[in-house]
Structure 1
Amino acid sequence: MGNNNLDLWSKISATTIQALEEKALKPIETQYEFLKENNIDFIIRILDNIQRKEQAKKKQKKHQKEASYNPFLPYEDKLYVDDLGDSHVCILNKYNVVNNHVLIITREFEPQENLLTLKDLESFWQVLRQVSGLGFYNAGPLAGASQPHKHLQVIPFPLAPNSQGFPIENIVLKYRSKLSDHQIITLDELPYVQAIAFHNLLGKSSLECAKIIEEIYQKMLDYLAIENDGKTSRGNYNLLVTKQWMMMIPRRQPKAQSISINSLGFAGALLVKNQEQLDIIKEYKPLHILKQVGIEQ
């Protein structure tokens, strides 16, 4: 274990400041605007300068042809935040849109299609319990995973200035008083297949939280009939986790109308490369794009 994990948020902040100074972090500059649909204030971010990430991706693809290139093995020292037990490490997301966005990566290579284990979720929870934000997992390439090495992510609130929490939460929280803990349902307001459940983890250790989350996670896989053999999932999906609830969304394809969607899209935050893509979202509307990459219900 690294230094005392009680102060993980301070470490994330300090590492971010230093990595920015040393130019190890390459933040992606964006403009943003809100687009309201069905009482959801979607955050649409427009990239100011996509070239840097595109160039990095080209370089990475070139690397990937050289046997099995993996940016997490080894990870960059300047992005390292802390050890999470003996199996996972917390590092900064190099190409971040929001500061203090972290990745929870397995020390040894594991494929991103593998099901989440108790150790994954315990490491995840060590971070999530100390960060006021959203945890997520892009399970497989159809779900927007850009790296094949297993990694979970935590991004702090707000996802954009002048916003609170994240957009989809308005709809989800309406069900808090109607559902008992761990009860899984599908929300009719959303045009794509998904499952949500609430949990109460106050005062519990990371391991206790992980056990509860793992149980709901396994039930959601069954509920949504996501095909898996107990270790690897054939079906791709997105998973959103907060301190109060979690949601799983099965995926059919990685993009619609040229727009790539990962878990953050289902949280209500979409990223577009240019004005043309922004116009596409305005024409088709966010929920229609999400329905196209998910499964229509």
Structure 2
Amino acid sequence: MGGTWLDAIDERSAAALASGALQPVQAEQTEMEDGGMRFIVRWVSSLAVKDAAKVAIPGGPRDPNFNPFLNPDPALTVGPVGDAHVVILNKFPLCERHLVLARRTFEEQLQPLEYSDFAALATIMVEAGGIGLYNGGAAAGASQRHKHVQWMPEAEGNASLRLFAGGLPLGLPEQGVATHPALPMKHVFVRVLSGRDVPVEAAADSLLAGYRNACDELGLVPGEDGLLPPCNLLVGEGWLLMLPRSQECFEGISISAVCFGGTLYTRQPEQIEAIRRVGPLRALAAVGC
């Protein structure tokens, strides 16, 4: 790939928007404070378009086994990253430059992450920072079975682990573990190398080691169907956060990894009030363990 990843992402995004292959973000948002932290709740009307697209197609509902990542739409494909992954624009993005880093061959989303998954993510993050995300199965908010991680850039209103900085210990060495006093669900933070100007190999090694440490701390074990229980993973700001999950939804609102970075997304405007009623932290805790 010539140029930078951001150049390639922006070039492909502009063409995909012009052709209609990429659905533009349409969102309204409100802010809420909980536990001394600032949360953003966004009503993304384009998510309702995504739901409608699943059924409103010629010939009736789409085959439930359809896999958009196995042979991705060329209009949304940015290019290969590493030997095992391809970078794809999220057709229904939650923000600008929202990426899917999907494995080129099929593997179940519940299967444990591997070095190549973290190397693909590190390749983007070393250049562009931002946050890496993983939804380990349907109960953790994954909408596709084909294994993939996601990336979002650092921008005002986007998810970030910076939200938790005030409650985490300073000076913790790499691979040190911590919990946050404001999070009422089972979780663990691991100090890792991530972000700009870290060699890709060093970042990938650190992320894989942090992931395995987090699995040990939380008692997550590979089962016949993959890693159990399902979990979310977030990476950014020198931290890896993992949380086991008990269910996908809070009052009909799908909760995925991005929500644990301080930005919650709803499909209907009235769902914002459901979160306001209990507060973001209790809404997140309801789907945790």
TM-score by length of 2: 0.92
Is the Cα contact below 8 Å between 2:132 and 2:152 reproduced in 1?
A: yes
The yes-or-no answer on 1:273 pairing with 2:264 is no
Q: 1:188 aligns with which of 181, 184, 187?
A: 181
Instruction: Please tell me the residue identity of whatever aligns with 1:194.
Output: H
Structure 2 counterpart of 1:143: 140
User: How far is the alpha carbon of 1:47 from its aligned partner?
Assistant: 2.8
The answer to which of 100-109 and 8-17 deviates more is 8-17
Indicate how the Cα distance of structure 1 residues 239 and 59 shifts in structure 2: closer, same or farther if over 3 A, else same. Answer: farther
Is residue 288 of structure 1 aligned with residue 279 of structure 2? no
Does 1:240 find its partner at 2:234?
yes
Q: How does 1:1-297 map to 2 (within 5 A)?
A: 3-4=1-2, 7-48=4-45, 50-58=47-55, 62-65=61-64, 68-158=65-155, 160=157, 166=159, 169-172=162-165, 174-200=167-193, 203-229=197-223, 232-295=226-289
- Tell me how far 1:59 sits from its aligned partner: 5.4
Work out whether residues 135 and 241 of structure 1, in 8 Å CA contact, stay in contact via their aligned partners in 2: yes
1:207 CA drift (Å):
1.9
Unpaired runs of 5+ residues, structure 2, are: none
Question: Could you say what secondary structure the match of 2:150 adopts?
Answer: strand
Alpha-carbon separation, structure 1, partners of 2:113 and 2:193: 20
Distance 1:95 1:282 in 2: 25
SS in 1 for 2:178: coil
2:253 maps to a residue whose letter is: I
SS of alignment partner, residue 264 of structure 1 = helix
Instruction: Write the distance in 2 (CA, Å) between the matches of 1:186 and 1:98.
Output: 28
State whether residues 24 and 46 of structure 2, in contact with CA within 8 Å, keep that contact through their aligned partners in structure 1: no
TM-score by length of 1: 0.89
SS in 1 for 2:275: helix
Report the alpha carbon displacement of residue 172 of structure 1 after superposing the two structures with TM: 2.9
Q: Using the alignment, how far apart are the partners of 2:81 and 2:47 within structure 1? A: 32
Could you report, residue by residue, the CA deviation over 1:166-202 in whole angstroms, capped at 9, with x for unpaired residues? 4652323552524222111222221111100222457
Q: Percent identity?
A: 28
Q: 1:181 to 1:20 in 2, by over 3 A?
A: same
Deviation at residue 50 of structure 1 after TM alignment: 4.5
Say whether the 8 Å CA contact 1:31–1:47 is kept in structure 2: yes
Retained in 1: the 8 A contact 2:23–2:46?
Answer: no
Is the CA contact 1:36–1:42 (under 8 Å) kept in the aligned structure 2?
Answer: yes
CA contact (8 A) 1:115 1:230 kept: no
Using the TM superposition, give the Cα deviation of residue 41 of structure 1 relative to its aligned residue in structure 2, in angstroms.
1.0
- Please report the RMSD computed on the Cα atoms of aligned residues, expressed in angstroms: 2.1
The count of residues paired between Structure 1 and Structure 2 equals 286
Contact residue 181 and residue 200 of structure 1 kept, 8 A: yes
Unmatched runs of 5 consecutive residues or more in structure 1: none
Cα deviations across residues 21-43 of structure 1 (Å, max 9, x unaligned)?
11110124110111111121111
Structure 1 residues 208, 230: CA separation in 2 closer, same or farther (over 3 Å shift)? farther
